[in-house]
Amino acid sequence: MFLHLERKKFHFEDPFIFHALRSWALGREPYDETLQYLKKQEEPGKITESVIANHLIRLLFSYYPSTQFDYTVLLFYWRSQRKRELDSVLKMGDHYSPIEVKYQSKVSSENGFSIIDFQKGGKSSKGLLLTKDSLEVKRSYLKVPVPIFLLLI
């Protein structure tokens, strides 16, 4: 039920289960409580981050199918010395792909700093900044709308 990306970062595998358990724990009507939750500016981004993590794990499993599949060595959370966080780092072979999710319409260049921090370590030259609706090529990363990214993986 949970996707574990690192000790400090947990994601629900399914947004429906998250909302059902949340409304049950609060003792409130599920549909109305979900609508109230999603009205808060930062909450849709948290749900989107969970959906992205789930899809990345599925992608990795399609490349490395096994009954003993362990995504925790292939997908992880990363924090720089400057305390900037990357939502996900995808490892495929010797290549690392830093991925940051900013599910909002306005995305500033500062939102890509965690990707650049990761690239300074020499493990990656490109990254992805997943946004609500921006599509743009930057020097160090691509801004890609979440729906397009999910269609591609």
- What is the extent of the structural domain holding 84? 2-152
**How many distinct structural domains can be found in the chain?**
1
Enumerate residues 6+ apart whose C-beta is below 8 A from 129: 100, 102, 107, 111, 112, 115, 138, 141, 142, 143, 144
- Predicted confidence (pLDDT) per residue in 17-67, tens digit: 888 998 999 999 999 999 999 999 888 998 999 999 999 999 999 999 999
Which long-range contacts link 32-38 to residues 24+ away (Cβ below 8 Å)?
Answer: none
Q: What is the crossing angle of helices 43-63 and 30-39, to 10°?
A: 100
- What pLDDT score was predicted for residue 131? 96
Token pair recorded at residue 118: 């990761």
Q: Which two tokens stand for residue 103?
A: 């599910």
In tens, the pLDDT along 75-119 reads 998 988 888 999 999 998 889 999 999 999 899 989 999 999 999
What is this structure's pTM? 0.85
pLDDT tens for residues 143-152? 999 999 999 9
